[in-house]
Structure formats: C-alpha cells, structure tokens
Amino acid sequence: MKLLILGDMHLSDSKPKRRVDGYKKHQEEKIRAIVDIVERYSPTITIQPGDLCDKWEAPDKFKTRWMRILCQLPGMYLVPGQHDLRYHSSGTDNTPFGVIAEALGYKILSSKPYDVGGGIYLYGAGWNRPVPKIVTPDGFNILVIHKMIVMDKLWDQQEDYQVAGSFLRRYNFNLIVSGDNHQTFYYGSKGKWLINAGTLMRNKIDQESHIPSVFIFDTDTATFKQHMLSVRPFGEVFNLEVAEREEKKNKRLQELSDSLKKKSRIKGLDYKQRVIKIVNTLKANNEIKPLTEKIIGEVMGN
C-alpha cells in the first residue's frame, strides 16, 4: 500500500507575522502541487500528524473553503495537534479540525488500532497523549503522533523533546509519522522509519532554509520517496528588514535573560528585588514593553 505523508499544515486565513505575500493563495498552490503528486503515484490513504489548522476558531467560510480543497486528497487519517484543540488543551468539538474531519469522513486515530487493510494498522497519539501499546504484533504497525521529536536539540535550552533514534528504538512500530517539529527530517533503523515532514508553509522567520515536502511511503517495500514543493525566494515572502531588527532585539533579550539568570544565583544579593524595582519604575514611566517585562518576569520567577 502507498501512503501520502504530510506534515503540520497550519491552514490559515491570515498570513503569519512578517509574511508579505498572498499567503492564502500560496497555501492553495501547495495543495494543488500535492494533488499532482497524488495523481502520479496514486497513494491509497493520506496521513497527517496534527496541526491541520492553525487556530481552533475560524469562520464557516474558512471551513468550507478548505473542505473543497482537501477533498482532492485520498482518505485522511490524522491526530489533533495543540493548534487543533480548543484552548490548546481540550477537545475538537466545534473546531475547524473537528468540522472538516467530520464533513470529509476523516478518521481521527487513537490508541485503538485502525485496520486499513493488507495487514496494516494505524495507531494515533494526538498532542499530549501517551504512546499506545501495539496489540497487533503480526501487522505492519504505524504510529501517527503529534510530539516534539528531533534529530538534535533545536535550541540550547530546549527540554521537552524526544530524540528520533531513541524514540524509534523504544517503540517497535514499523513506521512513525510525527508532527509538531516544523523541520523536515527522517530517520531509519533496522528497516523501520520515523518521518517528520515539517510544515507545509514557511510560517516563521527562522525557516529560510526550509523547503516544504511530502512523502510517498510504500509499505510493501518499507521504502519512500520525498517530494519537494516549490517555494519563492525568501525575500519575496518575508520582510527581511523588520526580521533582522527583531532578530537583533531577540538576541539582546536573550543576552539579558542569560545575564539575569547568572546574577540571580549570586548568594548574598537580593538581586531579584532590585530587578523588580527597576522594572516597576520603567513601567511607571512607560519605558518598558510588555514582551520585555514578560521575559524578565519568567526569568526571575515572578
């Protein structure tokens, strides 16, 4: 059986911060490119590992538009990501994810295996859900999961993540399709694979090198082919001048954060109270931005 594997789609009616192009139009172009791949390779089903939608609130016209577009893809099997859930924590009732899934007959996967035929079983673990146990040991078992799985740490202070190699060895699935990490990577060990397709769109300024892609996986041979989707030059879709200023500002804030962490550990100094006093003075004079205050507060534990 051939599978179409997607990544985080983050379908949206509004363009991300610092994008300057026709974002909705370019999302549709990506789906049309995927439809062309489907017509060439004829996959039986589609697998999507969560964050189908960017927000849990959207008008009806958003839902109907994406129903018309997504119905061109073969039957979808998926799990919810945190962006699909109400308030990032509860269910999918009355959300774009839930409505689209119900209208198009999508199968929302769970810990109970779903038999798609040919000895192939799909298991699901949406955001913040535990990894299910395999109860079909003789089948070709696939886990679809929305969890931060990485090849290497994405930043020095990252804590809540799993490393691809150890995750694949720990859970004995033939194929793991993961979402949440916006980067694209795949990892194989002893004929088993973990595939993380990444985001459909470059929706953040740090994705200059990201090329969206999808995968066609053949369960008969346990092999796959990655298909890159075309993108425009980064400078045409992002405001690089503003992005550069923000990057410098974020770097200064990070340096401030690191400095405060070090100084707050010095014994004998009531450094925390001194910082709070300074911040309150700046607030009173309207000389500090809310984001800066928030970062300082998180660092100081207040």
- 73: Cα separation from own chain's centroid: 20
Neighbours of 81 (CB within 10 A): 26
Per-residue pLDDT tens for 197-215?
A: 999 999 887 888 899 999 9
Angstrom distances, CA of residue 26 to CA of 20, 31, 202, 230, 231: 12, 9, 11, 10, 9
CA 2 to chain centre: 23
Q: Does 118 have pLDDT greater than 60?
A: yes
Q: Judge whether 170 and 163 are in contact, CB under 8 Å.
A: no
For the entire predicted model, the pTM comes to: 0.80
- pLDDT for 138-189, tens place per residue? 999 999 999 999 998 777 767 788 999 999 999 999 999 999 999 999 999 8
Average pLDDT in the chain: 88
Q: Are 180 and 84 in contact (CB under 8 A)?
A: no
Lowest mean pLDDT segment, chosen from 72-81, 102-111, 208-217, 274-283: 274-283
Least confident segment among 94-108, 118-132, 241-255: 241-255
Buried b (16+ CB within 10 A) or exposed e, 159-187: eebbebeebbeebebbbbbbbbbbbbbbb
More confident residue, 80 or 157: 80
In the chain, % of residues over pLDDT 70? 87
